[in-house]
Structure 1
Amino acid sequence: MPVSAEIPSPAGSEARATSAAPAGGAASAGGEVDTSGGLIIFLNGTSSSGKSSIARELLAVLEEPYFHLPVDAFHAMRTRGEADPAELPGILRRTWRGYHRAVAGMAAGGNNVVVDHVLSEDWRLPDCLGLFPPRDVVLVGVRCSLEELERRERARGDRPAGLAARQYGRVHAHGLYDIECDTTTADARECARRISAFLPHRPLPTAFERLRAALRPELPPVDA
């Protein structure tokens, strides 16, 4: 998908990002603990696109410690009582907001994190842009053909019919990624290996830096 003209073109694209600190920080020669933030691998795609499978494979292939924080785990922690339909949108929004802040907190503590996300509502990406250090985010587009998404949705049976189709035109609307995978033809292990190989060679500015400049211009610029 083409990048919007409002998004600044990358300057100095040959520049390379430094690798993230190990989770939890590392002791320096002087005995002090390194408190630099961790790296966030941000997987974005529709329901049934394979994000969770890629996240599990990433934990198997990445050398440094990473935590997989799936949003489904946060939804599963809510009480099981049936919510008033009028209150459900607010409950879901608060859950997503809390999830974003939990991810930000883990990364701020020096932990590397794998996130699987669905940017299907307009407010979610701007919220993340204001919370996550943009240079420490690898934004991964997880794509899949609609036909295959619908086949998977029917096969798994635990998602509302038509959910992937409703999300399909919205999830990738921002149009910009650091790296993309297409699970129509590539399996989760192949995608994870591609992402892992990409990490040491990430160009600057990152997709999150460029999106932050375009969508959250009121935020202070990232230091060079």
Structure 2
Amino acid sequence: MQAPGRVILIHGASSAGKSTLARAVQAALPEPFTHLTFDHLIDSDALPRGPEWLKVRGQVFDGWHRAVAAFGASGADVIWDHIIESPAWHSDLRALLAGRDLFFIGLHCDLAELERREAARRDRKPGDAARDAAHIHAGKQYDLELRSEDGAEANASRVIAACQARRGVSGFFA
């Protein structure tokens, strides 16, 4: 039976630079890690749009959480960039990822920069970044907190060093 894979979970507001950091960490790690992000589903046009999306959003995210957990259960090492939108999601994810070697990263970004990035991307609904920034970090116990303004390469080095130096159970499960 395969041992569960490791999970590096990067959490931050929309447009905080989670995917950029995930790709930098993936490139810097000596072992292969699979980068998973909900943006892959969005970019592939796999999801319904408009009112149809609202009808299935809860089920899709529940399935997404289970799919990412299944990657780890199969033994795959994963870098997952995600926005944990609610305490209920956090609770569900704790149960799905229980017993995993998980490293939880909080990626912070100034609101003005989030809004600038959001506007430049044009694939985000205006206001999502500000909404996220106002609440998603509340009550979280991270294993490492980073500022996206420090740059992806510098932050990737910090992630790798912190992963190697860590001891004990992740703050994610606290």
Same fold by TM-score, threshold 0.5 exceeded?
A: yes
Greater shift, 164-173 or 69-78, is seen at 69-78
Which of these two proteins has the greater Rg computed from alpha carbons?
1
Report what 1:161 is aligned to: 126
What is the percentage of aligned positions where both structures have the same residue?
36
Query: Is the Cα contact below 8 Å between 1:40 and 1:138 reproduced in 2?
Result: yes
Alpha-carbon spacing, 1:79–1:152, altered in 2? closer, same or farther (3 Å): closer
Give 1:89's aligned amino acid: L
Q: Structure 1: which 5+ residue stretches go unaligned? A: 1-33, 211-224
Q: Quote how far apart the aligned CAs of 1:61 are.
A: 0.1
Structure having the larger proportion of residues in helix: 2
Report whether the alignment pairs 1:151 with 2:116.
yes
Q: Are residues 1:109 and 2:74 paired?
A: yes
Partner of 1:88: 53
**Alignment match, 1:140:** 105
Shift of 1:187: 0.5
Using structure 1 for the length normalisation, give the TM-score: 0.72
Number of the residue aligned with 1:74: 41
* In 2, Cα distance between equivalents of 1:178 and 1:160: 30
SS of corresponding position for 2:141: coil
Aligned to 1:191: 155
Q: How many residues align?
A: 174
**Unmatched segments (≥5 aa) in structure 2:** none
Contact 1:44–1:142 (Cα < 8 Å) also in 2: yes
Q: How far does residue 38 in structure 1 lie from its aligned partner after superposition?
A: 0.8
> What RMSD, in angstroms, separates the aligned Cα atoms of the two structures?
1.8
TM-score between the two structures when normalised by the length of structure 2: 0.91
Distance 2:168 2:87 in 1: 25
Change (3 A) 1:105 1:151: same
